[in-house]
Amino acid sequence: MNKALTGVFLLAALAPACGSQQSSGNTGGSSGSGGSAGSSTGPTSGGSGGSSGAMNGTGGSTGGTGVTTGGAGGSTGGTTGGAAPATGGATSTGGVVGTGGSNPMAGAPGTGGAMPMAGAPGGGAPGAGGSSGGAPAGGNGAGGSAGTGAAGAPACVVPSGPPSATLTTFNDNGGWCWYQDERALVDAKNNRLIVGSIASGGNRDGNTEVVVYDMTAKSGKTTVLNKLSVDDHNAPAFVFTGTGAVAAMWATHRLNCNSYFSTFDGSSWSATKTYDWSPNGCPWPGADTNMITYANPWLMSSESNRMYSLVRSVDTSPGVLSSTDDGKSWSYYGRLTASPQTGYVAGYYKYWGNGTDRIDWVGTEAHPRDDDNSLWHGYIQGGKVYKSDGTAVDNTLGDGMASDVSAFTSVFKTGTSIGGVVLNHMWNHDIVRYADGTVAILGQGRVNGTGSDDPDKRFIYSRWDGQKWTSTYLVHGGSKLYSDEQDYTGLAALDPDNPTIIYVSTPYDPTTDTMKSGAKHEIWQGTTCDSGKTFKWTPVTQNSSSDNIRPIVPKWDANHTALLWMQGTYTSAQSYNMKIVGLIMGQ
């Protein structure tokens, strides 16, 4: 096994971080029933709940241990469903959630069953809220109707050690930047991964490559889409089309006016085609290198399977291409923002699409060496562009007109104090919007007063709860990766299928926020039990002889995770000796 994965333990051998373990068993029984409703003539509390569940949740096929008996009902809510097994394997059954007890003001919802990390989810059904009591002042108020409990959410479970999954090399020569997504797709139907990267060195130097990796056969097939300059900015991004095919798009790093694209029918890639931005004004005023970089294609199935690709283009802001034929052709659609170009470019953007009707994004004003950036959030929906709270900023995405990025919602304002330091010159790592409507963002900033040559860089986590953004300090980011890019770090990634999990790449130990001399960039898993207020850390790699940087987690499902990253020596964006590696967990 690779040295980066020494001292591994079963990822599925997890210890609950937010509760204690109860007795074990193999058969799941019903949990206790909730208390009775309060009277209609006063703030009467609910009756006592039923007894605890007779039996625990069903274990997985590997003999997993069921945990957690059903709790008592009563005035504080319904009983908790049985938790999923402690060891991985087949689906584990959560206990049935009890009915919520009475409450003088409103019925509290029952708690959903917990979900394991490696086994299939054991989420219990939502408990119904208890009936409300009478008027709080003791008058003859009528009892209210029952409230509805929330569905069971993934439990925060902290692994006891690194995952046991075998480290896989998907491409032995590859690199990527982080402003093109998705860089990998999980084709769950065919049990395969689609992974794109740019080769550096040898006769493959500058190859735009895509690997279709068969997770059953544990082997991959590499296709060269075309050969451009060697630059990790040129890596392709992928999206599933409305018919289930795959579309890819990529570009050079400000070298020409082209967006390149190809499609995959399940067996082969089409010949590469080109969209020429010259009729749209490329190269744009300000510099002869104000040309095309990156691609971010996303499906909007609600718009008759239209796909949008967001590309650094018009005046170095994000322009939008559109396809209505599964990526076989593209046309200019409009632009997302119109910030003034400051120095190198007019901002950096990360995107996340739900595949249905919405694309969220987080942007900056410029490169952090050129401007004192903040982080800004907005989203595209129904042909309009909105602030976080649903206020429309641009009523017509497709008219070619757009607003400055600062017209949107501030996620983290430069000069904000966090973790005992003041951060400025912000940059963005990742963004995901979850099914419950929360949005998470990972990013970084420079510690105020630490200079501009190799500033002290710190990672942050920000979360939108439906009303406001809150941010949490994470860890030191370490020194710059190479001399010309003062803000290049190992970066961080969100798990799109589990809002309790993030991954960071840093030479620092986030459990102590300190670094040993000569330490390489390692991958760490962070787990939050309190909606991002705090994180508990577990190593994914340890004692590595080379750096592990730029992790990504393509969307899959709640029971499976593919964690990929670059491993090796990174000299610059145009020269590196890296490979694309990763772990496939849950299979």
Q: Cβ distance 293 to 254 under 8 Å? A: yes
Q: How far is CA 152 from the centre of its chain?
A: 20
Q: Cβ distance 389 to 335 under 8 Å? A: no
CB atoms within 10 A of CB 419: 17
- As a whole number of angstroms, the distance between CA 373 and CA 365 comes to 6
Of 558, 586, 577, residue with least CA distance to 114 = 558
Q: Which two tokens stand for residue 427?
A: 């940059």
| Residue 160: predicted pLDDT | 86
Q: Which two tokens stand for residue 30?
A: 């019903």
Residues near 229 by Cβ (< 8 Å), separated by ≥ 6? 206, 252, 253, 255, 574
| Residue 587: predicted pLDDT | 84
| Tens digit of each residue's pLDDT, the chain (587 residues) | 443 443 333 333 333 333 333 333 333 333 333 333 333 333 333 333 333 333 333 333 333 333 333 333 333 333 333 333 333 333 333 333 333 333 333 333 333 333 333 333 333 333 333 333 333 333 333 333 333 434 455 678 899 889 989 999 999 999 999 999 999 999 999 999 999 999 999 999 999 999 999 999 999 999 999 999 999 999 999 999 999 999 999 999 999 999 999 999 999 999 999 999 999 999 999 999 999 999 999 999 999 999 999 999 999 999 999 999 999 999 999 999 999 999 999 999 999 999 999 999 999 999 999 999 999 999 999 999 999 999 999 999 999 899 999 999 999 999 999 999 999 999 999 999 999 999 999 999 999 999 999 999 999 999 999 999 999 999 999 999 999 999 999 999 999 999 999 999 999 999 999 999 999 999 999 999 999 999 999 999 999 999 999 999 999 999 999 999 999 999 999 999 999 999 999 98
- As a whole number of angstroms, the distance between CA 472 and CA 462 comes to 6
CB atoms within 10 A of CB 211: 20
**202 phi and psi angles, rounded to 5 deg:** 70, -160
DSSP state for residue 132 in the 8-state scheme: B
- As a whole number of angstroms, the distance between CA 298 and CA 182 comes to 9
Q: Cβ distance 99 to 107 under 8 Å? A: no
- As a whole number of angstroms, the distance between CA 536 and CA 475 comes to 12
| Residue 528: predicted pLDDT | 97
CB atoms within 10 A of CB 18: 12
The partner residues of 169 in beta bridges, in order of sequence, read 581
CB atoms within 10 A of CB 135: 16
| Residue 152: predicted pLDDT | 52
Q: Cβ distance 321 to 309 under 8 Å? A: yes
Q: Cβ distance 259 to 311 under 8 Å? A: yes
What is the rounded (10 degree) CA torsion for 527, 531, 532, 533? Answer: -110
Omega before 283 cis (within 30°)? yes
- As a whole number of angstroms, the distance between CA 81 and CA 121 comes to 12
- As a whole number of angstroms, the distance between CA 41 and CA 189 comes to 57
**193 phi and psi angles, rounded to 5 deg:** -110, 145
Of 192, 113, 198, residue with least CA distance to 157 = 113
Kindly write down the DSSP assignment for every residue of 453-517, as one continuous string.
SS--EEEEEEEE-SS-EEEEEEEE--S-SBTTBTT----EEE-TT-TTEEEEEESSBTTTTB--T
What are 267-272's contacts with CB under 8 Å, separation 24+? 268/223, 269/210, 269/223, 269/225, 270/328, 272/225, 272/226
Q: How far is CA 407 from the centre of its chain?
A: 25
CA distances from 42 to 48, 49, 102, 108 (A): 18, 20, 12, 18
**469 phi and psi angles, rounded to 5 deg:** -95, 135
Q: Which two tokens stand for residue 113?
A: 């069953």
Cα within 13 Å of Cα(223), Cβ side: 18
Of 234, 217, 214, residue with least CA distance to 225 = 234
Q: How far is CA 412 from the centre of its chain?
A: 18
What is the rounded (10 degree) CA torsion for 66, 67, 72, 76? Answer: -120
**97 phi and psi angles, rounded to 5 deg:** -80, 135
- As a whole number of angstroms, the distance between CA 31 and CA 72 comes to 8
| Three-state DSSP state, 566 | strand
Q: Give the DSSP H or E segment for 101.
A: none
**13 phi and psi angles, rounded to 5 deg:** -85, 75
Cα within 13 Å of Cα(193), Cβ side: 33
State if pTM tops 0.85.
Answer: no
Query: How would you write 242-308 as a 3-class SS string?
Result: CCCCEEEEECCCCCCCEEEEEEECCCCECCCEEEECHHHCCCCCCCCCCCCECCCEEEEHHHCCEEE
